[in-house]
C-alpha cells in the first residue's frame, strides 16, 4: 500500500495530466485535493485527446476509482457538464467517482466577483471560474458546502444570506432576486445528477488505506501558483503543494510515501505576474508555437521562458519531491543552444534561493548556463541511452543542480512518447 502525491513544480500546465495517466496503472484510487475547474489536464490515449478540469484524470483509466476531495471547490454546473462529457465518450462514472460532502461550491456570484476584480487595476489574470471568491467564502466561514447544498432548508438559508451580503457585487450583473431563482432552478436540475456521487471521502480513504490500496493524489496548478509559496498575489487561492493533499483529503501526512514532481524542460505561465526567465519577442513566440502553448482551460497563450533552477529547487524543496518527471523536451529538439537559469543577479549580489519580495522578483536578472542543444528529433526514442548525448547531458545537469532523480522523460503527448529512466519508481510497484 502506498500514497503518492503528483505535483506541478512550475506555474501549472507541466503535463501533470499525461504523467497522472502513466502513473494511474499503478494506482487503485486517484484523488484531486485542491483547485477546481481552473485546472485543465490533458490526456491523450488511443489517439484521442481529453481535457479534464474537475474530475481526476484517473477516470480515463478503465477500472480506476476517483475522488474529488474536500479541498476542491466544485462548480456544480461545471461538474455535471464534465460528467456528461465523459458519458458521451462512453466512460463509465457510476461506482467510480466520489465527491466529498465537505467540498465548497462555486456559484454564479463567485464568478461575478472574480470577473469584477479582473476589471480592476489589481487584477491577477485569473481563469474567471470563481475559484478565489469561493475559497474566500470558505475561509470567511460563509461558504456553502456540498452537504449544505443537499439539504433544502440549510441551502436556502445560506444562499439568501450570501446573496444579501454580496448584493452590491451581484447588482452589477443581475438582480439578487433573479439570481436566487436561477440558482434554485440550477440546483433542481443538477442535484439529482450528482447526489449519488457524494460521500464522506475522508472516511472512504481511511478504509482504502487500511485495505492497503495504492492511492495517487493528482495535484492541480503548481508550486509557483501556491497561495503560500508562489508568486503572490499572482497565484491561485489554494495549496497545490504536496502538503495540500493532507488537508485537502483528510489524509495524515505520515501516510504519504512519495512525492513526484512534474516539470517541463522549459517554463511557462498563463496570467500575470513575475516570470524572471521569460523569453520575449520572436524567439519566445517560436518556442510557444513549437510547444503548442495555449492554456487548456482558458485558451490564452502561455508565456514561455527558460528552465529556472532557482525556482525549481524551491518547488522541489517545498514539496519534498524526490522523483521528477521531465516533460516536453521535444520542444527544445531543434535549438542549437539551451539555457538554464542557475541564479538571479540582484544589485551586486547573486541569489540562489527564490525571493518572496515582489520588488526583488521584478528586478532580478537571470544568470544562465548555456548548454549545447542536440539538434535532432527525440520523438520515437524509447530508452535513455538512445537519446542524443547532449539531451542526456541536459537531463543529468538538471538532476545535478536540483539534487533529484528523473524517473521519466516525456517527448510527446502520447503515452508511448515516454522514456522511463527508473523502472520501479513507485513504492511496492
Q: Which residues are catalytic?
A: 13, 41
Q: Is 17 in the site for ligand GDP (CB under 6 A)?
A: yes
330 binds, among Mg ion, ligand IMO, ligand GDP, none (CB under 5 to 8 A by kind): ligand GDP
Stretch that binds ligand IMO, among 118-126, 169-177, 340-348, 412-420 (CB under 6 A): 118-126
- Measure the N-to-C terminal CA separation of the chain; round to a whole number of Å: 10
- DSSP of 74-112: E-HHHHHHHHHHHHHTT---TTTEEEETT-EE--HHHHH
**Binding residue (CB under 6 A) for ligand IMO from 3, 9, 13, 57:** 13
Site string for ligand IMO, 34-73 (x = CB under 6 A): ----xxxx--------------------------------
User: How many angstroms separate the CA atoms of 29 and 56, rounded?
Assistant: 10
| Comparison of 70 and 236: residue with beta carbon closer to ligand IMO | 236
| Comparison of 156 and 278: residue with beta carbon closer to ligand IMO | 278
Q: Is 246 in the site for ligand GDP (CB under 6 A)?
A: no
Kindly report the backbone phi and psi dihedral angles of residue 66, in degrees, each rounded to the nearest multiple of 5, phi listed first: -130, 150
Answer whether the bond into residue 233 is a cis peptide, omega within 30°. yes
**Binding residue (CB under 6 A) for ligand GDP from 4, 15, 59, 113:** 15
User: How many angstroms separate the CA atoms of 219 and 222, rounded?
Assistant: 8
Q: Which three cell numbers stand for residue 48?
A: 484521442
Residues in the chain: 429
User: Which H helix or E strand runs over 343?
Assistant: strand 337-346
Place of cell 487561492: 237
Q: Is 230 in the site for ligand IMO (CB under 6 A)?
A: no
Q: Is 127 in the site for ligand IMO (CB under 6 A)?
A: yes
Place of cell 500575470: 272
Stretch that binds ligand GDP, among 25-33, 237-245, 309-317, 410-418 (CB under 6 A): 410-418
Binders of ligand IMO among residues 296 to 315 (CB under 6 A) are 296
Q: Is 40 in the site for Mg ion (CB under 5 A)?
A: yes
User: Nearest Cα to 414, choosing from 45, 40, 24, 57?
Assistant: 45
Bridge-partner residues for 124, per DSSP? Answer: none
| Comparison of 220 and 259: residue with beta carbon closer to ligand IMO | 220
Kindly report the backbone phi and psi dihedral angles of residue 180, in degrees, each rounded to the nearest multiple of 5, phi listed first: -60, -45
Stretch that binds Mg ion, among 161-169, 264-272, 289-297, 309-317 (CB under 5 A): 289-297
CB 343 → ligand GDP: shortest distance, Å? 27
Distance of CA 56 to the CA centre of its chain: 11
Instruction: Label each residue of 246-293 as H, E or C.
Output: HHCCCCCHHHCCEEEEEEECCEEECCCCCCCCECCHHHHHHHHHHCCC
Q: Is 218 in the site for Mg ion (CB under 5 A)?
A: no
For Mg ion, the binding residues (CB under 5 A) are 13, 40, 296
Q: Which residues bind ligand IMO (CB under 6 A)?
A: 8, 11-13, 38-41, 124-127, 129, 131-132, 220-222, 225, 234, 236-237, 270-271, 296
State the residues that interact with ligand GDP by CB under 6 A: 8, 12-18, 40-42, 44, 296, 327-328, 330-331, 410-413
Amino acid at each position: 500500500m502506498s500514497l503518492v502525491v503528483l505535483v506541478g513544480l512550475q506555474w501549472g500546465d507541466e503535463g501533470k495530466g499525461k504523467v497522472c495517466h502513466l502513473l494511474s496503472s499503478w494506482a487503485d484510487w486517484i484523488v484531486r485535493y485542491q483547485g477546481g475547474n481552473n485546472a485543465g489536464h490533458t490526456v491523450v490515449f488511443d489517439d484521442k485527446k481529453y481535457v479534464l478540469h474537475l474530475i481526476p484524470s484517473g477516470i480515463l483509466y478503465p477500472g480506476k476509482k476517483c475522488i474529488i476531495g474536500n479541498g476542491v471547490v466544485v462548480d456544480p454546473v461545471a461538474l455535471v457538464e464534465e460528467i456528461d462529457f465523459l458519458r458521451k465518450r462512453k466512460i463509465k462514472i457510476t461506482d467510480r467517482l466520489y465527491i466529498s460532502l465537505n467540498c465548497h461550491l462555486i456559484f454564479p456570484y463567485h464568478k461575478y466577483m472574480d470577473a469584477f476584480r479582473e476589471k480592476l487595476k489589481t487584477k491577477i489574470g485569473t481563469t474567471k471560474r470563481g475559484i478565489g471568491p469561493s475559497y474566500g467564502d470558505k475561509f470567511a466561514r460563509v461558504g456553502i458546502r456540498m452537504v449544505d447544498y443537499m439539504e433544502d432548508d440549510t441551502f436556502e438559508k445560506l444562499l439568501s444570506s450570501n446573496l444579501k451580503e454580496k448584493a452590491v457585487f451581484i447588482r452589477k450583473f443581475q438582480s439578487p432576486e433573479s439570481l436566487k431563482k436561477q440558482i434554485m432552478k440550477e440546483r433542481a436540475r443538477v442535484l439529482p445528477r450528482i447526489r449519488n456521487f457524494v460521500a464522506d471521502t475522508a472516511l472512504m480513504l481511511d478504509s482504502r488505506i487500511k485495505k492497503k490500496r495504492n492511492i495517487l493524489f493528482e495535484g492541480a496548478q503548481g508550486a509557483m501558483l501556491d497561495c503560500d509559496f508562489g508568486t503572490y498575489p499572482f497565484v491561485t487561492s489554494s495549496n497545490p503543494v504536496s502538503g495540500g493533499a493532507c488537508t485537502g483529503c483528510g489524509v495524515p501526512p505520515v501516510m504519504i510515501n512519495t512525492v513526484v514532481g512534474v516539470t517541463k524542460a522549459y517554463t511557462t505561465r498563463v496570467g500575470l505576474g513575475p516570470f524572471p526567465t521569460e523569453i520575449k519577442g520572436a524567439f519566445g513566440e517560436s518556442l510557444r508555437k513549437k510547444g503548442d502553448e495555449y492554456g487548456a482551460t482558458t485558451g490564452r497563450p502561455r508565456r514561455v521562458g527558460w528552465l529556472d533552477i532557482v525556482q525549481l529547487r524551491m518547488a522541489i524543496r517545498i514539496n519534498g519531491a524526490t522523483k521528477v518527471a521531465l516533460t516536453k523536451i521535444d520542444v527544445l529538439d531543434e535549438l542549437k543552444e539551451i539555457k538554464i537559469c542557475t541564479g538571479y543577479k540582484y544589485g551586486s549580489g547573486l541569489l540562489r534561493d527564490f525571493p518572496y519580495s515582489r520588488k526583488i522578483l521584478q528586478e532580478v536578472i537571470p544568470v544562465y548556463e548555456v548548454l549545447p542543444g542536440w539538434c535532432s528529433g527525440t520523438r520515437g526514442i524509447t530508452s535513455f541511452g538512445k537519446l542524443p548525448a547532449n539531451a542526456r547531458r541536459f537531463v543529468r545537469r538538471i538532476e545535478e543542480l536540483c539534487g533529484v532523480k528523473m524517473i521519466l522523460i516525456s517527448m510527446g503527448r502520447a503515452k508511448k512518447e515516454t522514456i522511463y529512466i527508473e523502472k520501479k519508481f513507485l513504492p511496492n510497484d
